[in-house]
């Protein structure tokens, strides 16, 4: 039995939903953890998943969901509560003797990272490591879907990234999910850290691939409008710091700015391009 969280799929990458579908297509037994018993849960049941409803931050719902589970996929959206959810999930997985937890983290999850969310991801990784549950950390670049949200809201790629030559490491939510499913099904030992960048782009090239113009917003203007789009102060704080980091690096080099071979190795196909995502 494989437990998949975030299985309903949200706005950020819907990686849990895609992992659940990939595993079900391969005939695996999937327990889908969702927050609400809505139409998305009904679709998961139709696809053959066992659905459990709960809150990842609440051990009383996570613990029963873990019973009989051998492997698990953990994802928690960019909002408050990551460390509560991590602690509950890690404790329950440890108690159950789960042998592999594949969890979604961010490209630069480090104790000195430039956004509070990235630093929390590093802490979350530590907790999973201490739990001894065979944790694999998917350190992903910016999801294509993240840019699509900006375009949907503004009609152009309006971001405070500076000139169009500013670089951005990108990856499709679908590729994160393919790698997640591949790692969950891999019987062999795997590296505990998996860097995931499918395309190194720039602000200008990304806008072109999405078929829109790029507009460099002054950081204050972006921050002032962001609450309307994201309706979550935690997400706005993270994104504000994230765009500032990219803006500061500009078209310079960074050790994490490279397309990784992990997508093809664990996901079974070459990375999707942003253009394919936009036209697909």
Ligand X SMILES: NC(=O)c1ccc[n+]([C@@H]2O[C@H](COP(=O)([O-])OP(=O)(O)OC[C@H]3O[C@@H](n4cnc5c(N)ncnc54)[C@H](OP(=O)(O)O)[C@@H]3O)[C@@H](O)[C@H]2O)c1
How many residues bind to ligand X according to rule CB under 6 A? 27
164: DSSP letter: T
Least Å distance, CB 259 to ligand X, is 15
Residue owning tokens 């190795």? 265
* Region near ligand X per CB under 6 A, out of 3-11, 158-166, 180-188, 263-271: 3-11
The answer to whether residue 55 forms part of the interface with ligand X (CB under 6 A) is yes
- In this structure, is the dihedral angle defined by the CA atoms of residues 262, 92, 233 and 145, taken in order, positive or negative? positive
- In this structure, is the dihedral angle defined by the CA atoms of residues 23, 98, 32 and 35, taken in order, positive or negative? negative
CB closer to ligand X, 7 vs 205: 7
* DSSP per-residue letters across 188-219: S---SEEEE-SEEEEHHHHHHHTTS-EEE--H
**Tokens linked to 247:** 């803006």
Interatomic CA distance for residues 188 and 183, integer angstroms: 9
User: Of 156-185, which residues contact ligand X (CB under 6 A)?
Assistant: 173
User: Of 84-113, which residues contact ligand X (CB under 6 A)?
Assistant: 104, 106
The answer to whether residue 56 forms part of the interface with ligand X (CB under 6 A) is yes
User: Of 196-255, which residues contact ligand X (CB under 6 A)?
Assistant: none
Least Å distance, CB 60 to ligand X, is 12
* DSSP per-residue letters across 20-73: HHHHHHTT--EEEEESS-SHHHHHHHHTTPEEEE--TT-HHHHHHHTTT-SEEE
The closest residue (CB) to ligand X is 10
* Interaction pattern, residues 116-155, with ligand X; x per rule: CB under 6 A: ------------------------x-xx--x---------
* Region near ligand X per CB under 6 A, out of 12-20, 88-96, 152-160, 221-229: 12-20
Residues that bind ligand X (CB under 6 A): 6, 8-16, 35-36, 55-57, 75-78, 81, 104, 106, 140, 142-143, 146, 173
């Amino acid at each position: 039995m494989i437990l998949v969280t975030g299985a309903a799929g949200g706005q950020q990458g819907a990686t849990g939903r895609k992992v659940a579908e990939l595993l079900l297509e391969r005939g695996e037994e999937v327990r889908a953890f969702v927050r609400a018993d809505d139409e998305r849960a009904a679709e998961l049941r139709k696809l053959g998943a066992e659905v459990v409803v709960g809150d990842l931050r609440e051990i009383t719902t996570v613990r029963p969901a873990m019973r009989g589970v051998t492997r698990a996929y953990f994802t928690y959206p960019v909002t408050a509560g990551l460390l509560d959810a991590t602690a509950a999930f890690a404790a329950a997985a440890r108690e159950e003797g789960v042998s592999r937890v594949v969890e979604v983290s961010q490209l630069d999850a480090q104790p000195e990272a430039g956004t509070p969310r990235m630093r929390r991801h590093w802490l979350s990784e530590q907790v999973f490591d201490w739990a001894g549950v065979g944790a694999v950390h998917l350190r992903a670049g910016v999801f294509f879907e993240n840019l699509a949200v900006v375009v949907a809201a503004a009609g152009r790629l309006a971001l405070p990234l500076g000139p169009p030559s500013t670089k951005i490491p990108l990856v499709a939510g679908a590729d994160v999910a393919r790698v997640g499913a591949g790692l969950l099904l891999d019987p062999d030992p795997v590296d505990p850290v998996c860097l995931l960048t499918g395309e190194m782009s720039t602000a200008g090239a990304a806008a072109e691939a999405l078929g829109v113009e790029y507009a460099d917003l002054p950081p204050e203007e972006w921050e002032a409008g962001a609450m309307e789009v994201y309706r979550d102060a935690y997400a706005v704080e993270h994104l504000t710091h994230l765009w500032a980091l990219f803006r500061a690096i500009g078209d310079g080099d960074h050790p994490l700015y490279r397309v990784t071979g992990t997508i093809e190795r664990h996901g079974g196909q070459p990375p999707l391009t942003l253009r394919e995502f936009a036209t697909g």
